Amino acid sequence: MRVSLNWLRDYVPVEAAPEDLADTFADLGLEVDGVERIGAGLHGVVVARVLEVRAHPDADRIVIVDVDSGDGEALQICCGASNMAAGDLVPLATVGTVMPDGMEISARRMRGEPSNGMLCSAAELRLGDDTAGILILPVDLDPGVPLAEALGITEDVVFDLDVLPNRPDALSMVGIARDLAARLGLPLVTPSSAVAELGDPAEGLVTVEILDPVLCGRFLVRVLSGVSVGSSPDWLARRLLGAGMRPINNVVDVSNYVMLELGQPNHTYDLDKVAGSRLRIRRALEGETIETLDGATRMLSAGDGVIADGDDMAIGIAGVMGGASTEISDSTRDVLVEMAWWDPMAIAISSARLNLHSEASLRFKRGADPEMPPAAAVRFAELLGEVAGATLHPGVADGRGDLPDRSPVRVRTDRVNLVLGTDLDRDRVAALLDPIGFTCTSAGADLDVSIPSWRYDSREEIDVIEEVGRTYGLSRIPRTVPRSPEGGSLNHAQRSRRALRRALVGAGLSEAMPLPFLAPGDLERCGLDPDGACLANPLVQEESVLRTSLRPGLLAAVRYNSARRRFGARLFEVGRVFGPGEFVVDTERSEALGTVMTGEAEHLGAVLAGADALEAVELLDVALAALSVGPLALRAERLPGMHPGRGAVVEVAGFEVGEVGEIDPVVLERLEVAERVGWLGLDLSKLLAMPPAVRTARPVSRFPSTDVDLAFVLDEHTPAAAVATTIRAAGGDLVRHVELFDVFRSESLGEGSRSLAYRVWFQAPDRTLTDAEVAGLRAEIITEVEQTHGASLRS
Amino acid sequence: MGDDPLLDELADIEVSASGRVREVADLAALDDLEAEVLGKRSRLTDIRSGLKDLEVEQRKVVGRALHEARGSLEAAFAARRGDLVDRERAAELEAERQDLTEALGRARIGHLHPITQTWERLEDVFVGMGFVVEDGPEVETDWFNFEALNLPPSHPARSLWDTLYLDTSGTPGVREEQVLLRTHTSPVQVRTMMRAVREGTGPPIHCVCPGRVYRRDTADATHLPVFHQIEGLVVDRGVTMGDLAGTIEEFTKAYFGESLTSRLRPSYFPFTEPSAEVDISQPDGSWLEMGGCGMVHPNVLRHCGVDPEEWTGFAFGFGIDRLAFVRHRVSDLRDFVTNDLRFLEQF
């Protein structure tokens, strides 16, 4: 809502500085989106007469104009627009003028031709939004006269207010003035009109029937005669322009003016064109069509409201837009003006479905004032009489349907203070409410409050309490801090998630956050089950599937980075994944960890290309240590989207919780990822739900340890972890630690075989082990590994 | 006595030998010189051997001079040896000199996403203020996301949220537009209250609910279809709008710094009443719009099984991405989801 300060002063004698007013509006809940100063940049702009327009010798888009700026001399100006002709009066910004946008006009040359000022469009002068051409002024002005004086423009400030959905009243000048007057303790002057009535009573000229009382709460009609359609006087046109509306003709302009002033949308009909002089308010028939004022033919559905004529033809869409068939024209003799109240919900649904959002529908869907129609009709008649010579017929046709219940609401003073944290007494509460029209009568310590008809949204005690808070000023409420009886903390899962993220960052991975939407086919391209939940109304098809895995997003991130020559990406993501039938939202929450590792990895002391899978396993150890869960087991398996020989299922405490290994190079080729990629995917929902390991201390032995190195030649398919398990089992309690320290392959070992070298530490808690004991353990381990795994000790 | 030639010779030996000790450049030469000057075949040893042939008086005098010369030369050798050992060690270490700056920037350091960093900072501040952290599902039902929050079907304010719905066609018992991606973290409030009532653990409730939310919005520099909010909820006996304003102010000081302050401006949300916008003062005197807040609407409490006559509550919600955006002076929100390492590694 654009609010002109000059216009506002018609209703409230406000003198505050615009900056202070902006703060006051904000404090009243009328958010200020912008403050515009009108007419402030017009110093130096004068009326000029165009003497000649000719082409620029060196430029197609520039014309040369000679103007008379009042001294009778020809002054040459170069101009980018060419909508003016010799004899027109135009605004000229003379040399030295500072334009509203801050630009200073200077004498200059354009493509070699001198230019001594600038001819201005309405937009450049902030007199309108027309940027298309130079503003052509009325013919009766004198060249040389300052433009502001010639047009009678006074400086003004326009506040662009963002009106909230619960404030239908603030979509009018009077409503805003009411709030301001109450806050500033100033008198509110509402327009009161007295108009002489002439001619036959309206009751005999038109009939109104409300067939659907739920749809239409009120439909008041008056008749005017003797309208001469023409353009509006300057003051009216300017007010509309300031409010952001384009002047059309005096009838439309008065209609808009009354809506802006009083918040009452209204509509005019050419009475002669209304068949049977009957207006019947009913729901539309499914598929019924109507040509609206904007020239479009619209198909209606059964929920929409229409105004039909005596032939039951729709001549208007209720509360949204009028029809073309009854539009006012130059030949109009008698004008019907409609002032209605429509059911807000019906209008909201209608205008949304028709995608037709008018100034009228905006006000009706938020709830207009059902008591406003009689006064608004008289105000309309008064203004139309003034600007179009219309006279008002006596009488009204006033149809009534269902209106909201407006019985008084009991407002408990204690409750006001309990909700707001204030210490107001009953009379103070009443004094805050009365000026904004919430009339209070005492009921013991409490109040019975009549909610004004212009506050559709307000109907319960809490709504009134909100008004008390707003008018009192939220900034004046004493600030207190409540204390939680429990104290704050993170729970185990929240702490573990943080520990996990930090461990991964410590391991050199950065956190990615791709959008969780996938394109159809993304999952399949990653070698995963293509089934995913789909959006019913995605913005674009590329973002229509909800991810079932973090893998596509992370692989896309790898591709993005390597395409920009940022190779070796190591990324992780912690985020939700969604099952293909994610409709039972109460039960399962699937949170996942995904990590991708690319580039050459250092493994077991040697830099190896293609060690990404092994590195992913090391990362798995890091992750599980951070989450404090175990024990871990890997089970080699052919997994979807994974390298057939480099993938394993991750088991923790016997539960399958994810997969680790290398992404299938075929998938990577398909995705145009040039690098090998190690992958670790974990089901965090399961891992975070596991009870954390409680660690009890074991005494550290004071006695020296002995270590033994054993290298075995084994089949490639024998898991190293299984060999280590055998070593531990064979060595028993005296084995303190087993570490794989070398993996070796060579021709001499033969195809399909490798050597695994383990270092085994022995230690007893209560004595130094003898050489004989160690030799015995060593022999047992060798025998056991050879027998269990078909290995041979490498000498 | 001064003219005893032996004494003169001793003095000469001491002077010349100590001069040579000073000039020796390495330990091997020092060893050679020591053998020559103090060894078995040295002149000093000769003189010592000859002492027995001297007169008693002369033997005493020469003996003492010999002892002194020898002592002083031994000390000179020891000192010189110490010097040379130190010098050789120093040379060895100098040969091992490294330019430590070569190693700078080589470590593989990972980076937490700036949104996670902001998220955790917010959690920390609120935990310090006595809140616990709750979460909830991102796929929600219409009831939790809208209806329980005082937004019945066709409520005009629903158009404030451009909602993404799941395609549930073919799912028995699920009507169209019943399952959606939550448009705000507020349904977690509803779930938290209902659970507390069901399990008898509350109210009182003091919680924050950080999480990911969705809107049907085209990504541009200032909008993303997926972003993050943190929502706070306090429900207790006698909780007031003053408590809300005080909590916001305490948060402002803890998160932004002691010098900044907050203000509440009346606003409208269907799930709170009175409702307000939260602005935070900026060092340049302007106000930064942070989010919304208000007293939990009695209808919302009722929907959750909490009696609004016995309990009152407040709620607030801030945008996590927006705070990260402002803190790190990011120019385009899309940078948060592009996963360009050149961006991520700055944090």
**pLDDT confidence of A242, banded at 50, 70, 90?**
confident
**pLDDT confidence of A179, banded at 50, 70, 90?**
very high
**pLDDT confidence of A694, banded at 50, 70, 90?**
confident
- A498 in contact with chain B, both atoms CB, cutoff 8 A: yes
ipTM, two decimals, is: 0.85
- B137 in contact with chain A, both atoms CB, cutoff 8 A: yes
Residues 234-293 of A with CB under 8 A from B: none
Residues of A in contact with B341 (CB under 8 A): 510, 561, 566, 569, 571
Lookup result for tokens 């130190």: B86
Cis amide leading into B204 (omega within 30): yes
Taking an 8 Å cut-off on Cβ atoms, the answer to whether B240 and A480 are in contact is yes
> How close B326 comes to chain A (CA, Å)?
18
Taking an 8 Å cut-off on Cβ atoms, the answer to whether B264 and A474 are in contact is yes
Answer positive or negative: Cα dihedral of B202, B207, B211, B213. Answer: positive
Instruction: Specify the DSSP class assigned to residue B202.
Output: -
Residue of A nearest to B224 (CA): A515
Contact A90, A101 (CB under 8 A): no
Residue of B nearest to A362 (CA): B156
Q: What's the confidence (pLDDT) of residue A500?
A: 97
Residues 377-406 of A with CB under 8 A from B: none
Task: Reduce the secondary structure of A643-706 to three states and give it as a string.
Answer: EEEEEEEEEECCEEEEEEEEECHHHHHHCCCCCCEEEEEEEHHHHHHCCCCCCCCCCCCCCCCE
Residues 557-576 of A with CB under 8 A from B: 557, 560-561, 564, 566, 569-572, 575-576
Q: What is the pLDDT of residues A107-154, one digit of tens each?
A: 888 888 899 999 998 888 877 777 778 988 888 888 888 888 887 777
Higher pLDDT, A340 or A58: A340
**pLDDT confidence of B202, banded at 50, 70, 90?**
confident
Residues of B in contact with A559 (CB under 8 A): none
**pLDDT confidence of A586, banded at 50, 70, 90?**
very low
Distance CA A383, CA A254 (A): 7
Q: How many C-alpha atoms does A481 have within 13 Å on its Cβ side? A: 13
**pLDDT confidence of A589, banded at 50, 70, 90?**
low
Position B93, amino acid: L
Q: What is the pLDDT of residues A596-655, one digit of tens each?
A: 998 765 544 455 556 688 889 999 999 999 999 988 999 999 999 999 999 999 999 999
Q: What is the mean pLDDT of chain B?
A: 92
Taking an 8 Å cut-off on Cβ atoms, the answer to whether B246 and A480 are in contact is yes
Distance CA A537, CA A533 (A): 12
DSSP code string of A12-54: S-----HHHHHHHHHHTT-EEEEEEEESTT-TTEEEEEEEEEE
Share of chain B above pLDDT 70, in %: 98
When CB atoms are compared, the residue of B126, B224, B265 closest to A27 is B265
- B223 in contact with chain A, both atoms CB, cutoff 8 A: no
B191 pLDDT above the threshold of 80: yes
- B156 in contact with chain A, both atoms CB, cutoff 8 A: yes
Distance CA A587, CA A577 (A): 14
Among A228-242, A483-497, A582-596, the least confident range: A582-596
**pLDDT confidence of A587, banded at 50, 70, 90?**
very low
Residue A257 parent element (H or E): helix A250-262
- Please work out, in degrees rounded to the nearest 5, the angle formed at the alpha carbon of residue B96 by the alpha carbons of B90 and B102: 135
Q: What's the confidence (pLDDT) of residue B109?
A: 87
Phi/psi for A553 (5° steps) reads -65, -40
- B231 in contact with chain A, both atoms CB, cutoff 8 A: no
Which tokens in the block code for residue A193? 């009109």
> How close B99 comes to chain A (CA, Å)?
24
Residues of B in contact with A480 (CB under 8 A): 240, 242-243, 246
Contact A159, A5 (CB under 8 A): yes
- B281 in contact with chain A, both atoms CB, cutoff 8 A: no
Residue of A nearest to B262 (CA): A475
When CB atoms are compared, the residue of B174, B206, B297 closest to A583 is B174
Contact A542, A522 (CB under 8 A): no
Phi/psi for A327 (5° steps) reads -65, 145
Helix boundaries (H) for B257-311: 298-303
- B285 in contact with chain A, both atoms CB, cutoff 8 A: no
Residues 301-330 of A with CB under 8 A from B: none
Angle between helices A359-366 and A344-354 (to 10 degrees): 140
- B340 in contact with chain A, both atoms CB, cutoff 8 A: yes
When CB atoms are compared, the residue of B130, B139, B167 closest to A488 is B130
Suggest the residue from A412, A479, A600 to mutate for an interface test with chain B (most B CBs closer than 10 A): A479
> How close B64 comes to chain A (CA, Å)?
58
Q: What share of chain A is helix, strand, coil (3-state, %, to 5)?
A: 30, 30, 40
Lookup result for tokens 């092994």: A614
Q: What is the pLDDT of residues A360-377, one digit of tens each?
A: 999 999 999 999 999 999
B344 pLDDT above the threshold of 90: yes
Cis amide leading into B283 (omega within 30): no
Contact A4, A239 (CB under 8 A): yes
* 3 state DSSP class of B303: helix
Distance CA B152, CA A345 (A): 11
Suggest the residue from A481, A541, A550, A564 to mutate for an interface test with chain B (most B CBs closer than 10 A): A481
Cis amide leading into B274 (omega within 30): yes
Q: What is the pLDDT of residues B114-160, one digit of tens each?
A: 999 999 999 999 999 999 999 999 999 999 999 999 998 877 677 66
Suggest the residue from B163, B166, B215 to mutate for an interface test with chain A (most A CBs closer than 10 A): B166
Q: What's the longest Cα–Cα distance across chain B?
A: 134
Distance CA A691, CA B102 (A): 45
DSSP code string of A430-482: HHHHGGGT-EEEEETTEEEEEPPTT-TT--SHHHHHHHHHHHH-GGGSPP---
> How close B297 comes to chain A (CA, Å)?
8
Q: What is the pLDDT of residues B282-329, one digit of tens each?
A: 888 888 899 999 999 999 999 999 999 999 999 999 999 999 998 899
- Please work out, in degrees rounded to the nearest 5, the angle formed at the alpha carbon of residue A538 by the alpha carbons of A536 and A542: 125
In this prediction, residues A62-80 reach a mean pLDDT of: 89
Lookup result for tokens 């429900």: B235
Q: What is the mean pLDDT of chain A?
A: 91
Residues 505-524 of A with CB under 8 A from B: 505-517
Q: What's the longest Cα–Cα distance across chain A?
A: 131
Nearest by Cα to A737 from A695, A765, A705? A705
- B237 in contact with chain A, both atoms CB, cutoff 8 A: no
Residues of B in contact with A464 (CB under 8 A): none
